[in-house]
């Protein structure tokens, strides 16, 4: 009897052991699936977030260059594409483990946010293509767990679209363009060179005046810091400004950093240059007007002040000291450069300085910084490029995108 019971129980236990193996196998597959969803899904999500951040930065960087006078020049599309790709390539993907390859970035331009043709810079977009779109794709992402269930390599993609919009606030250099006539144009002529004396301001000696954004404090030290940095930010259209007085060598050195000319402790890391240091004076630009198109073209090549200071002096007729080290080679302007010579400056009534130590900002001007400064007593020239709130203005600066009726300069903003 016991023998019979034993013989009946043994097969049943064997069958049970086989059933458990099946259940465990199924459970392992389910657990692997859950682990795959959590870990592989999370990995794809992180990659997507990293690509989206890169695409946003890519589009915003390119939008800086979509300026128009009155139409966007083809050279500006090339510069926008180069800027977008450069910024995209500085971002990382894969839990910040690897840099984004520019081969994975597509940059196109369009006239309409929805619909219409989107063209790369090489396909000659129309002059009113004011939108830039960056698409970044990361392929060949091999799942950690889900490949056990037959899932192959995955692709993650992100896109962002930006354009220039009027700012709520502005970052401005401490230079006030003196109004020459009544609003709305204030008597300032687009493309014309205006002069002023660096160390004594404008006033009776020229058409602009060095100003203090935080009266009654300020002066040469504050001005130098603003020129070396981004300028004075968080200003509104009625912010009162004061007259700082004479400027010295320290402020002149700070001015020259925007041309890629460095002295002392200044360098490309604490005071970025413009995309080009090529400069304009009456010697190499006798017409003394409308240098903007040539400037934008030289930006695309990263042209510097000269292969050395003396070479630049020979071109411009200036006397920049050998103590300055120019940015070389030209690729350095492309690598470290930013939008530093097309600057926003307030328009003020310079004739009111005598009766009042402060004057209101009446509008924003876009100016091209034409040349470095040899000595604080130099006469400095600027080219007026229109009011910064004009859609055809070539200015783009740091700021917060405003709402309807904003009067600040054009700034890049994400629209999609």
Q: Is residue 414 part of a domain?
A: no
Report whether the peptide linkage leading into residue 70 is cis, meaning its omega lies within 30 degrees of zero.
yes
Domain finish residue from 135, 166, 197: 166
Determine the average pLDDT of the residues in 81-109.
89
Angle between helix 74-89 and helix 292-301 axes, rounded to 10 deg: 40
Higher pLDDT, 22 or 191: 191
- Rounded to 5 degrees, φ, ψ at 46 are -60, -45
Q: Is residue 412 part of a domain?
A: no
pTM tops 0.85, yes or no: no
CB atoms within 10 A of CB 336: 17
* Gap between the Cα atoms of 393 and 374, Å rounded: 29
On whether both 175 and 322 belong to a single domain, the answer is yes
DSSP-assigned letters across all residues of 131-186: EEEEEEEEEEE--SSGGGGT---EEEEEEEEEEEEEBSSEEE-SEEEEP-SSTTTT
Query: 10 in a domain, yes or no?
Result: no
Instruction: Tell whether 12 is covered by a domain.
Output: no
**Of all residues in the chain, what percent are helix, strand and coil, respectively (each to 5)?**
35, 25, 45
Residue 187 confidence (pLDDT) = 93
- Strand intervals (E) in 167-284: 170-172, 175-178, 193-197, 208-210, 232-235, 240-242, 261-262
CA angle 107, 113, 119 (to 5 degrees): 35
Token pair of 92 as six digits: 């990382």
Q: Are residues 174 and 104 in the same domain?
A: no
Does 346 lie in the same domain as 387?
Answer: yes
- Furthest C-alpha separation in the chain: 126
pLDDT of 353:
72
Q: Is the pLDDT of residue 137 over 80?
A: yes
Asked if residue 209 and residue 127 are part of one domain, the reply reads no
Please determine, for residue 246, whether its predicted confidence score (pLDDT) is greater than 90.
no
How much is the pLDDT for 203?
Answer: 46
Question: Do both 126 and 213 map to the same domain?
Answer: no
Mean pLDDT of the chain: 81
Residue 114 and residue 50 share a domain:
yes
Residue 413 counted as domain residue = no
Q: How far is Cα 390 from Cα 178, in angstroms, rounded to an integer?
A: 18
Distance, CA of 166 to CA of 402 (rounded, Å): 6
411 within domain boundaries: no
pLDDT at 280 over 80: yes
Q: What is the pLDDT of residue 379?
A: 85
Q: Find where tokens 């037959």 sit.
A: 150
> What's the pLDDT tens digit per position in 359-405?
888 888 889 999 999 888 888 899 999 887 676 777 755 456 765 55
For the stretch 161-210, pLDDT in tens is: 999 877 665 678 888 888 899 888 899 999 999 988 776 554 445 788 88
Work out the average pLDDT over 280-304.
93
Q: Based on the domain organization, do 233 and 88 belong to the same domain?
A: no
Angle formed at CA 248 by CA 245 and CA 254, multiple of 5 degrees: 110
Q: List, in sequence order, every residue forming a beta bridge with 366; answer none if it has no partner.
A: 344
Instruction: Average the pLDDT over 205-222 and give the result.
Output: 75
Percent of the chain with pLDDT over 70: 76
The domain tally of the chain equals 2
Among 143, 166, 189, the domain boundary falls at 166
Does 45 fall in a domain?
yes
Which of 166, 188, 209 is the last residue before a domain boundary? 166
Please report, for residues 34, 42, 69, 256, 302, the alpha-carbon distance to residue 124 in angstroms, rounded to integers and kept in the order given: 49, 40, 17, 35, 21
Range of the domain at 159: 21-166
């Amino acid at each position: 009897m016991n023998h019979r019971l034993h013989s009946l129980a043994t097969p049943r236990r064997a069958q049970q052991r086989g059933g458990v193996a099946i259940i465990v196998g199924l459970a392992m597959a389910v657990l692997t699936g859950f682990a795959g969803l959590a870990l592989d899904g999370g990995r794809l999500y992180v990659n997507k977030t990293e690509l989206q951040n890169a695409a946003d930065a890519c589009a915003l960087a390119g939008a800086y260059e979509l300026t128009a006078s009155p139409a966007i020049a083809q050279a500006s599309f090339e510069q926008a594409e180069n800027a977008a790709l450069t910024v995209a390539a500085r971002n990382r993907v894969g839990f910040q483990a690897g840099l984004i390859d520019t081969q994975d970035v597509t940059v196109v331009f369009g006239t309409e946010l929805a619909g219409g043709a989107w063209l790369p810079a090489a396909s000659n977009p129309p002059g009113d293509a004011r939108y830039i779109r960056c698409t970044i794709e990361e392929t060949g992402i091999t799942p950690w767990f889900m490949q056990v269930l037959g899932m192959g390599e995955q692709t993650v993609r992100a896109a962002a679209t930006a354009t220039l919009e009027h700012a709520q606030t502005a970052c401005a250099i401490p230079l006030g363009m003196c109004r020459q006539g009544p609003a709305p144009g204030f008597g300032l002529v687009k493309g014309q060179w205006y002069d002023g004396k660096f160390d004594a301001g404008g006033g009776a000696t020229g058409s602009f005046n060095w100003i203090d954004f935080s009266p009654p404090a300020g002066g040469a030290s504050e001005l130098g810091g603003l020129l070396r940095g981004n300028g004075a930010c968080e200003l509104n259209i009625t912010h009162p400004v004061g007259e700082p007085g004479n400027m010295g060598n320290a402020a002149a050195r700070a001015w020259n950093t925007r041309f890629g000319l460095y002295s002392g402790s200044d360098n490309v890391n604490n005071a970025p240059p413009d995309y080009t240091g090529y400069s304009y004076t009456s010697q190499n630009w006798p017409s003394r007007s409308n240098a903007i198109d040539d400037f934008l073209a030289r930006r695309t090549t990263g042209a510097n002040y000269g292969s050395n200071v003396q070479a630049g002096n020979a071109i411009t007729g200036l006397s920049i000291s050998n103590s300055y080290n120019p940015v070389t080679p030209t690729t350095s302007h492309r690598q470290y450069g930013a939008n530093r010579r097309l600057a926003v400056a307030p328009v003020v009534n310079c004739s009111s300085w005598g009766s009042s130590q402060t004057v209101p900002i009446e509008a924003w001007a876009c100016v091209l910084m034409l040349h470095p400064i040899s000595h604080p007593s130099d006469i400095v020239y600027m080219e007026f490029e229109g009011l910064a709130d004009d859609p055809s203005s070539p200015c783009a600066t740091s700021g917060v995108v405003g709402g309807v009726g904003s009067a600040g300069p054009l700034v890049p903003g994400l629209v999609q």
